[in-house]
Amino acid sequence: MLGGMSKRLRYWLLCLPALLLLTGAEKGEDSPVPAASGHGLVVDIAGPIGPAVSDHVVKAIHRAQNENAAVLVLRMDTPGGLDTAMRDIVKAILNATVPVVGYVAPGGARAASAGTYILYATHIAVMAPATNLGAATPIPVGAPTPPTAPNPDQEPEKEKAPKLPEGDAAQRKMVNDAVAYIRSLAEKRGRNAEWAEEAVRSGASLSAEKALQMNVIDLLAEDMPTLLNSIDGREVQLAHEIRKLQTAGRSVEIIEPDWRTELLAIITNPTVAYILMMIGIYGLILEGYNPGAIVPGVVGAICLLLALFAFQVLPVNYAGLALIVLGLVLMIAEAFVPSFGVLGFGGLAAFVFGSIMLMDTGVPGYQVPIALIAATATAGALAIGTTVFLLMRARKRVVVTGSEAVIGAAAEAVDDFRPAGDGYEGSVWLMGEIWHAYSPEAVGKGQHLQVIAREGLKVNVSPVSGLQQGGTA
C-alpha cells in the first residue's frame, strides 16, 4: 500500500510542472506583468515640435526600452509643431515596450496642437494644475464668423464646429485625416474621442481640471514625485503585454539632448536656415568676384549645404525659394547692366515676397521673422541705392583711361613738325609719353597743342590759340 502511494506521489510530482504551464497558458498575454525594477526616465518636449525634438524623443524611447526602465515621462510645454515630427513621436509611443506617460508641466505649460495628439497617444495622460491642451486644428480654416447679438425669442442652439468651405478640398482632406487620427488614438486609450474631434475641427481647448472631468486625461499631478506615486499600481497596455506599474518612490533621470540633437535644432530653426542661405549665396558670389579667395567660397558652400538640409526637413514653399533666388540674381545683375535701379529694386521686391512665402506654415516657431526680412531688405535697398548713386556720379566724371581719355588732352610739340601731304607730322609729349602726331597747321617745337582725335598710335592735334613756346595764354 505504501508502495502504491509512493508511486502516485511521484506521478503527481511529475505532472505538476505541466499543470503549471497549462495554467499559465490559460492566462495568456492579458495577465499584467510587473514593471521593471529600473529607474524612471524623463525627456522634455519644450518649444515647437520639429525634426530635432522628434529625433530626441524617439531615441529616448529606444534608450528606455534598452534599459528596461520602469517608466518614461514626456514632460511637455509646446505650442505645437510639424505634422511629420509629431507622427514620428506618436508611432514610437504606440510601439513602445515601456510605459510612456505624457505630463504637461510645470504650471502655465500647454500641450497645444501637435502636443494634444502626443498626449492622447501616451499610455497615461497627466497634467499639472494651471495648464491647458487643445487647439489641434492642423491648418488655419479661415477667419471666424463675428459673433452676433443673441435673440431673446429664439432658443439657444448648441455650438457647432465651423464648417470648411465647400471648394477647399485640400483643407477638408487634411482636417478629416487629422480627426480620424486623433479619434483612433482616443479610442485606443479609452479617452474622450468627441472632444478630441472638436479640438481638431474647431480648435477647442481645455484647462487641466476640465480635461480631467471630461476624461481627456487620466489624472492631475503637481510635481514629478506626486505623478510617480499616483500612477503606481496602474496597469497599462503596451505593444505586446499588459504592464503593472511600480513607480512609487522611484528616482528619475532627465535625458539631455546630445550634440547631434542640439546641432539639428539649431540648423532647423527657420531663422538660422534663412541666414545660412544668405551667407551661402553671398559667399559664392564673392568667390566668383574674387577667384582664389577660397574663404568666401568654402564658407558659402558649407552654409548653403546646411541651409538646403534644413529646407529638406522644414515646410518650405519652393515658390518662395525660387523668388528669393530670382531676386538675388536680379540684384547682382544691377551691378553689370545699366538699368538705373530697375533690376535691383525689382529683384529686391522678389526677394521680399519670396522671404515672406518661404516658410509657408501656421505652426508657431516655424516662420522667418518679419523683422529679419525687413532688415535684410533694407540692407539690400541701401546697397542698390548706393550703387546707383555711384554709377550716376561716375558718369559725370572726366574719363581718365582708354582712348577716350586722350581726346581733349593737352600735348606739347617735341620738335618742329615737317610737311606731310596736306598737313604736318611730328612728335608730341602726351600724358607722359611721346606720340606720333598729325596737324593740319604748321607746329613749332614747344608749341602747346590739344588732341582732337586718335587713329591707332597716331593722334590728331590742333594748336591751342594764343599759346606759343615760352609764351602765356
Tell me the pLDDT tens digit for each residue of 135-155: 888 854 333 433 333 343 444
Give the helix/strand (H/E) hosting 133.
strand 132-134
What SS3 class is residue 17? helix
* Residues sharing a CB contact under 8 Å with residue 324, sequence separation 6 or more, in sequence order: 277, 350, 351, 354, 355, 358
Average pLDDT over residues 25-30: 42
User: Which residue spans of the chain are classified as CATH 2.40.50.140?
Assistant: 403-463
Taking the C-alpha atoms of residue 412 and residue 445, their distance in angstroms, rounded to an integer, is: 8
More confident residue, 468 or 242: 242
| pLDDT grade for 376, boundaries at 50, 70 and 90 | confident
Range name among 55-69, 81-95, 369-383, 386-400 with the lowest pLDDT average: 386-400
Three cell numbers, residue 99: 510605459
Greatest CA span in the chain, whole angstroms?
162
| DSSP string for residues in 36-52 | PSS-EEEEEEESSB-HH
Is pLDDT above 60 for 258?
Answer: yes
More confident residue, 27 or 288: 288
Q: Are 452 and 468 a contacting pair, CB within 8 Å?
A: no
| pLDDT grade for 88, boundaries at 50, 70 and 90 | very high
Range name among 180-189, 267-276, 334-343 with the lowest pLDDT average: 334-343
Range name among 20-29, 123-132, 231-240, 397-406 with the lowest pLDDT average: 20-29
Taking the C-alpha atoms of residue 147 and residue 164, their distance in angstroms, rounded to an integer, is: 18
Whole-number pLDDT of residue 7: 55
More confident residue, 397 or 120: 120
Range name among 101-105, 130-134, 179-183, 311-315 with the lowest pLDDT average: 311-315
- The sign one gets for the Cα dihedral 429, 430, 436, 438 is negative
| pLDDT grade for 59, boundaries at 50, 70 and 90 | very high
Fold of 28-139+174-257: 2-enoyl-CoA Hydratase; Chain A, domain 1 (3.90.226)
Whole-number pLDDT of residue 277: 85
Greatest mean pLDDT among 46-55, 332-341, 397-406 lies in 46-55
Whole-number pLDDT of residue 249: 83
More confident residue, 63 or 318: 63
- The sign one gets for the Cα dihedral 14, 20, 21, 22 is positive
Average pLDDT over residues 347-356: 81
Q: Are 36 and 68 a contacting pair, CB within 8 Å?
A: yes
Query: Cis omega (within 30 of 0) on the bond before 106?
Result: yes
Alpha helix locations (H) across 290-369? 295-313, 318-333, 342-358
Average pLDDT over residues 27-35: 47
What does pLDDT average to over the chain?
79
Taking the C-alpha atoms of residue 388 and residue 396, their distance in angstroms, rounded to an integer, is: 13
Whole-number pLDDT of residue 56: 93
Rg (CA), the chain: 40
User: Which residue spans of the chain are classified as CATH 3.90.226.10?
Assistant: 28-139+174-257
CATH of domain 403-463: 2.40.50.140
- Amino acid occupying residue 169: A
Give the helix/strand (H/E) hosting 214.
none
pLDDT above 70: percentage of residues in the chain: 77
Phi, psi of 191 (to 5 degrees): -110, 175
Is pLDDT above 70 for 3?
Answer: no
What SS3 class is residue 52? helix
